[in-house]
Chain A
């Protein structure tokens, strides 16, 4: 056989092999999970943390959920709703995944949601918690293992109120989670809002907004800017000399390890809210934080904890249905029962399948090893639910 023919035969064999691989639909000899997340661009740090947290959960389970080997299909949504929708279709139709998780940004979640629900694949959100899916559009296939978007902002709103600040400028990107953020903040902060600024999502230069904030002369400022946006904002906030007169508050997203790593010491003293912290005292969390550091050489962020919990929740559900992942009804019931040890401590779902949980106040300080990191100060809310659950028709 000539070399050319050999190559052609090899090619054909390879293609057949691939085709056969894609066509196999054997009943549950493995669990296929599609992790679609933001892995490039300014929001990439968040997606990478979710992915690493999820991978750690798979590793802790010995690579098997409920006795079945886990096959993780990882894809990048490039923080672009169109790309995300196409990629999700590929995961659902070609890879035929049994579960999906990973999306960071709410606008992307809202774009992908309908395809996932139509395909009747359970989605476990490790971050995005849009108010739409918590209220009237709640869906039996949508579970949120993190929080509802408003929650962390409500917690800061209460803190700012309790600390006696009277005049606040709020700033958020102009997208669904940005609106949720400001609504959440104002639900518990009842003082004066000197200015309410919305920016483009992904904006990196805040000079105009900072000048506007300075002119409003507030005593505190509240920002919701996840990922690279927050990194740039805080640097420019300090660079413009605003940190002298204005106390900066943010949700955990704007003050976690990804931002701290990039900004460093200027962030000392920033208060923020979270449902999780790396110093929370429970056995599951201690194991998670220690192993995450060993595996990846950095402290986990709240995103990593959410990715890890998403992994644990799927593992528990597959275990409870004894590997019968094709029986969706039973799987949904098992997911909703949430029989796993969350790293945040007690965890349960509300009727809309969003969490009911505690929220904590953290402050950025230097720890005993001289690292700039978060320290938990105390609880802001206990067993806090979101404001939209009442308009969801699902029963608990």
Chain B
């Protein structure tokens, strides 16, 4: 076990964790502040990735593609909120789950109609397609570094936005007591619409940044949505700080379990058993982590409301 491997895996975990954070941040705001379970959050991630792929193919500019995805998905998210989701805030969670699950199916089929069922290619910007030598012997893909940079910047920005601005104050006020905030003159309806649009834009950012690394395809949102839910449950529902810590934990645990666990098992058991058991164990370790956190801290690591 040399330090290069450890450093590289730490960077990989950080990169994956930050992308999860972008998704979890929007989800936790909507879930914690509006008390609304939005299963279609992953679909916004997919819509963002498809928009980015379409604009990149048409214009050839990756930067333009990401910007277009941000704006387009935010607009799409706000439209959904105004047209449909707004009506669900007063309903119980089961109605919300049913309605947003229906949205997943509709958005998936709609995407299939427009772009077809085969994955769409979103290529890396050429200058970023190679590796960078961070320290002697430590090479890391330039594009993943960019993702880490963007993720950190968004995390800081979001923290400042929620804790230091008037806008963030409204959001927190709306979360802790909706009726009182309205009485004090905050337009909660439009605030929620704006928060929803903002969450959608964060999804689109994650979708368009991960598009070139993964694949832009129908159903890409569902698998990552499950992880995003794990993140906000670990971090504490409604807490941005919790979402960040939870996302980084999940990212690191997932990355490390994929490589360290099989190696560890091989020293304990025969190679045959290790190769069978390792990948299986690695894929459930995140859920073990979630169960452990819930056992000792049922409200999550950073509960938003005491």
Contact = CB atoms under 8 A, between A and B. Distances in A.
B215 A228 contact: yes
Given A199-B279, A211-B259, A239 B118 contact: no
Interface stretch (B8-16, B74-82, B189-197, B235-243): B8-16
A211 B11 CA distance: 10
B130 A204 contact: no
B258 A209 contact: yes
Contacts of A197: 262
Interface band, chain A: 20 to 34
A86 interface: no
Interface stretch (A91-99, A230-238, A318-326): A230-238
The interface residues of chain A, by DSSP majority, are classed as helix
A48 B278 CA distance: 33
A22 B4 CA distance: 64
Contacts of A391: none
Nearest to B2: A215
B61 interface: no
Interface in A65-94: 76
A236 B141 contact: yes
Interface string A255-288: 0000000100000000000000000000000000
A25 interface: no
A383 to B, nearest CB: 32
Contact of B9 (A39, A44, A200, A208): A208
A212 B117 contact: no
Nearest to A266: B129
Contacts of A196: 271, 275
Interface in A188-220: 196-200, 204-205, 207-209, 211-212, 214-215
A239 B2 contact: no
B215 A204 contact: yes
A114 interface: no
Interface in B212-245: 213-215, 217-219
B252 to A, nearest CB: 11
A199 B275 CA distance: 10
Interface string A38-81: 01111011001000000000000000000000000000100000
A241 interface: yes
B119 A228 contact: yes
Contacts of B129: 235, 238-239
A228 B211 CA distance: 13
B119 A207 contact: no
A9 interface: no
5 contacts: A42-B215, A44-B118, A204-B213, A215-B4, A228-B215
Given A40-B112, A214-B139, A232-B214, 5 more contacts: A44-B117, A196-B275, A207-B12, A209-B259, A239-B129
